[in-house]
Structures are given as structure tokens and as C-alpha cells.
Structure 1
Amino acid sequence: MLKFLFFSLAAIQAASSEGCKGILYDGKPYKEQLMKADIYKPSSLAIDYKTSALYFTHIDQTGDIFYKTAKINLKDGKFTNLEVNNGFSLDVDQKNHVIYVGGYKGIYKYNERNNKAQLIVRGINTWNVFYKNVLYYIEFVSQTLFTYSNGKSKPVEELEGIKVYFFVMDDEDYMVYSNGTGVFGKKKGEQEVLYKDVKSVDEIREITLDRNGRVFVLAADGIYRVNKVTESIVKVAEIQDVYGMAFDIDNNLIFSKENSLLRLVPNKDC
């Protein structure tokens, strides 16, 4: 009888261990849920929470167009390529459900209802876009941060003279940005805080906000969360070779690998 119980417990432990294989995210077990396969280097993920649409760019390997803009309906998985080409940065105006796409020709304003895009900022090689009350964008060559409002662009005075590669601003107007030397945070009128040293701009691949307004940094060696109160940064996942990330309406992490889009969901087998 004891021998039977021993082997039963061993079998249960083995099954539990097998079920717990996956990813530790913020100290808890998660598993990957495939959302889209056979898509090359999807990046710059952005979600419209009202329509449950995940927008992103990906590299086209079949034609003359280098970058394509696409979306996936998070409810039914439907995939659609949009009529906006050669854009490689996206963000969503959540209030008006407008998508902004930055590329080497300028910035497009895309309307999901009619699947049309309008080039609103011309002749600017745009590397990164971010929307919060107004549109922020980074000009690629100079790495200068601008705002665009009422048809006019102007540099952001608070970061004038500072090179910026990625940029976000939270609900308390705290700015987090990266360049070729590090990841920094700054409140208006205060000194900047260094969160992470880097040796090149390529070490940071994206900076984004989760549904609670917390700042996450996607680096080449994993995913980090910024704590502006303690002025610290902590690695929350060891996921490697990730190209982009976003958070869905339930605050699940969505991220992209070289040929796929994936979502982290809690591993209930653990």
C-alpha cells in the first residue's frame, strides 16, 4: 500500500512539474498562447481597447513594400493587413479610436471605421509615435522629440537637446525615454533619473504602459518594469528575442517573436 502511494505521489509531482513548464513572469507561472504564426518580425504593438484590435507592423518578404501595417481582432483572431504601407511605429488615441502610424514619409492618421489613412505630417522620417492628449513623435535622424497639434509640430522643451529613441508618458505626466546611453525617467522641471545603462540604442526595443499605467521596458535581455517611486527598475521576465509588446484589456502581456505573436496567460496547471 505504501509503495502504491509513493508511486502515485511521484506521478502527481511529475505531472505537476510537466504542467508548470513555461515562463515565470513577475514571479508567477505563465504559458504562451499563440495568436498569429508565420508573420515576420511583428513589432510596435498597440491595442485599441474599445474595439479589441491589436495593431502592429511586420516585414513583408514577398513584394516591394518593406513594412506592412496590420491588425488582429483579439476576440475572434481575424487578421487584416491595413492600407498603410512602410510605417513602423504605431499608437492609439483611445478616446477617439484613431491609430497613428509613423514611417519614413511622415505620420498617417488611420480611421478604423472606413479603413482609410491620411498623411497628416509629411516629409518627416518618423521613428516612434506616442499619443497622450496630443501626438508625440521622434524624428529618426536627429532623435528629437516633437509634439504635433492643430497642424503644427514643435520640439518638446523639457527634453530639448536630449536624444530620444523611445518615449512614453504616464497619467501623472512622468516621462520615460531611452537613447544610446540608457533608459531615463523625468518629471517636468526635475532632474532626470537613470534607470538602466545601455551601450547602444539597439539594446532597448520598446517602452510601453500597462493597463495600470505602469511603465515597462523591452530590452534585448528581457522585460523590465520601472518603479518611479523608488526610482528603480526590475526584470520581470527573462523572455529573449522579443520584438514588441503590449498589454490587452485584462492586462495580459502580448509580445512578438521573430515569426509569431503570443500572449502570456496564467498557467493554471501550477
Structure 2
Amino acid sequence: MADRKFKTKMKIIFLLSTLSGALPVRRRPHCHACFNGMCHSRSTVFTAHKFSGQLAVDRTANILYFHYQTNRSIDHTGSFDLNDIKFKVLPKIGFTFGRAVDQSTREVFMSGTVGIHKYNPKTNTVKSIGLTDKTIWHLQYKDKIYYSEFKSKGIFTYEKNKIKSIKALSNFHVDDFVIDKQNDIYFLSDSMIYRLKNGTKTADFFIDEIFSLATDKKGDVHFIQPGSRTVYILDYSKDSLTELGAIGKGTPFSVVFDADNNMIYHDVDDEKLYYLMPNYSLCTVTTRGKGKNVKKFVSMRNE
């Protein structure tokens, strides 16, 4: 997980922390997560609101998009500039659930109660682009829009106002899915992960676990286990999962990676969005419990 220049990193950590209240000064950095033996400190991006749906990042400008509901039950779709530390509410759209970014144009696709909307960050405008008779559950963008429908089977594509069903997936209820650098589709269905390899006609069972799915800036697919807080990455040379590390506490969900491959996630335990950045301290991950009750614990090394 690459980091930016030291001064930029410290500025982001300080300013993000300031937004949610000043943190006490400590001699040693926090170790909120441990990836590849390196500690990561977390900063609060946004808090005190109810979140729902997918997170999405415009990696060109490093802007995070998300939905939140105020204490008065008013829905907003917001953005947060991770470089310039700026927050704003998107105009003329409240509730959204699915979100995906075209990284080449920076346009953001969002599903509302029905239909799909497109946000243009250059003009700060939102417009409907179709599917107004459908309730979209999840969105991904990889040269075109991929989506699943709420309480319906399958994954579909939407391009030039035409809908096309991916026939190999028509019998699956899809709870989450991503498209990796090889254009393989990984998806969660009935508490199991399946994979539809690019160019094949049948989806195959991949692993019997519930994971949140995410791809990083390189298109590598990651598997995040909310219960144990463990993060895995696919080793493409071996076609198997490799443990990257773990998050120290909470229940991570809706994970995305920013322009520098730093992780951002929604913690469903305390309803906060967190931003993880390396602080160069060494760490280890230990395991407690057995079977489905395994928990991962992060601790700093003394060397």
C-alpha cells in the first residue's frame, strides 16, 4: 500500500483528525491496522451519521463518494477530497446506494431509489441516464456499467442505453461483486464467493466464506472478512488468497482503495468512515479463537 510524500501524509492525518475532534498527542503512533508487517494509523473521514451503500473513489482527483443520512433522516450523497481535505454535498440528489466511477472521465454513476444517475464533477451537475424502472443494488464500472438489481438474480451491463444480461450469472442472487484487472467477476452469493473468469460461460465456486470485495488501483482483488477483520489479496501466480494483514478492531465493510492504494472503509460498529495510512512502525497480527470465531489482533513490534 503505497504512501504519498511524508509532508502530505502528515497533513492529511492531522487535518482529518481535526475534523472529528483533536486527538491526544502520543509518543508512539497508533497501530490501527497491520498490513505486510507495517502499522497503519486511521483517521476519521466522516462520522456521526448513518451510512449505506457502496463507497467509490475517483482516483484521478482522489475524491471519495458516499451516502449518509442526517439525524433528521434527510438523505445526502457527499464527496470528500482526500488531498485538499474538502467536503461537499452533491446537488439535486439525496439517497443513493450503488456508486461507481469511470476513472478515465471521472464521472460518477449512482443508483437512487430507481434508475441510475450520472454526476459530472467538472460541472457539478447530476442527471438521470436511464433504468428508471429498476432498483439497482450494486454498481461497478469497467469500460461500461455493470449492475445487479435489488432482490433479483444476475448481473447486467448497461451501455448505449442497452441492457444485456450476463447469462452465466442469471441463476445467482448477487449480494456483492467486483471486476478485477483480468476482467474476471468475483461475486458473493448465498454466503459463498464465486468467480466468472473472462471468456468463460460458467461461474465456478471460489471459496466458502462471506467477504466484502474490493479492487485496488492496480485492479487486484481483495477479500475482507468483516468478522475477523482480516484482509486477503489474490495471489494471481498461485490463484489463491494470501493474508495481507488485519484491521485492529471494529467491523470493516464497504472497502475501497484510493489513488495511493490506501484503504478506506466503513466501520458498521461505530458508523464511521476511516482512512488508513502507513506510519512506518513494524507490527504483527495474532489470532485468537477457532473456526468461525477467529479474531485478529494487531500489535506493534518493539524493534
In structure 2, what is the equivalent of residue 115 of structure 1?
124
TM-score under structure 2 length normalisation: 0.74
The amino acid that maps onto 1:241 is T
Verify: 1:165 aligned to 2:175, yes or no.
yes
Structure 2 counterpart of 1:60: 70
Matching residue within 198, 202, 220 for 2:226: 220
Distance 2:237 2:195 in 1: 11
Question: Which residue of 2 is the match for residue 11 of structure 1?
Answer: none
Partner of 1:6: none
More strand by proportion, 1 or 2? 1
Query: CA offset at residue 54 of structure 1?
Result: 0.9
Aligned amino acid, residue 112 of structure 1: P
Where does the alignment leave 5 or more consecutive residues of structure 2 unmatched? 1-25, 283-303
Residues 108-141 of structure 1, C-alpha deviations (whole Å, 9 max, x = no match):
1111122222222202111000001110110111
Counterpart check, 1:104 vs 2:116: no
Structure 2 Cα separation of the partners of residues 185 and 227 of structure 1 = 15
- 2:130 matches 1:124: no
Q: Is the 8 A contact 2:232 2:242 kept in 1?
A: yes
Q: Which amino acid aligns with 1:233?
A: L
CA drift at 1:80: 1.1
Is 1:82 aligned with 2:90?
A: yes
Deviation sequence 1:187-228 (CA, Å, 0-9, x none): 131654433324xxxx44x42210121101233222332334
Identity among equivalent positions (%) equals 25
Structure 1 letter corresponding to 2:272 = S
1:1-270 alignment, distance < 5 Å = 18-19=28-29, 21-41=31-51, 43-63=53-73, 65=74, 67-83=75-91, 84-120=93-129, 121-187=131-197, 188-189=199-200, 192-198=203-209, 203-204=210-211, 206-221=212-227, 222=229, 223-239=231-247, 240-257=250-267, 258-270=270-282
Contact 1:42-1:260 at 8 Å conserved across structures: no
Q: Aligned in 2, Cα 1:61/1:196: closer, same or farther, shift over 3 Å?
A: farther
Residues 74-98 of structure 1: CA deviation (Å, up to 9, x unaligned)? 1121111213222111000011111
- Residues 21 and 110 of structure 1: CA distance in aligned 2, closer, same or farther (over 3 Å): closer
Q: Is the 8 A contact 2:52 2:97 kept in 1?
A: no
The one-letter code of the counterpart of 2:280 is K
Please tell me whether the aligned partners of residues 63 and 81 of structure 2 are also in contact (alpha carbons under 8 angstroms): yes
- CA spacing shift, 1:58–1:217, aligned 2, 3 Å: farther
Partners of 1:143 and 1:164 within 8 A in 2: yes
163-172 or 17-26, larger mean C-alpha shift: 17-26
Q: Secondary structure at the match of 1:268?
A: strand
Q: Judge conservation of contact 1:43–1:243 (CA < 8 Å) in 2.
A: no
- Give the whole-Å Cα distance in 2 for the aligned partners of 1:22 and 1:247: 17
CA shift for structure 1 position 100 = 0.4
Instruction: Classify the secondary structure of the residue corresponding to 1:238.
Output: strand
Number of residues of Structure 1 aligned to a counterpart in Structure 2: 248
TM-score (norm 1): 0.82
Q: Deviations over 1:150-197 (max 9, x none)?
A: 111121123222222212112221111111130122213165443332
Distance of 2:70 and 2:30 partners within structure 1: 36
Give the aligned CA root-mean-square deviation in angstroms.
2.4
Q: Quick one: which amino acid aligns to residue 48 of structure 1? A: D
Question: Which is further off, 246-255 or 235-244?
Answer: 235-244
Instruction: Tell me, in whole angstroms, the C-alpha distance in 1 between the residues paired with 2:218 and 2:241.
Output: 17
- Kept in 2, the 8 Å contact 1:43–1:58? The answer is no
CA 59–218 in structure 1, closer or farther in 2 if over 3 Å, else same? farther
Preserved CA contact (<8 Å) 1:43 1:245: no
Return the index of the structure with the highest Cα Rg.
Answer: 1
Do the aligned residues in 1 keep the contact of 2:156 with 2:166 (CA within 8 Å)? yes
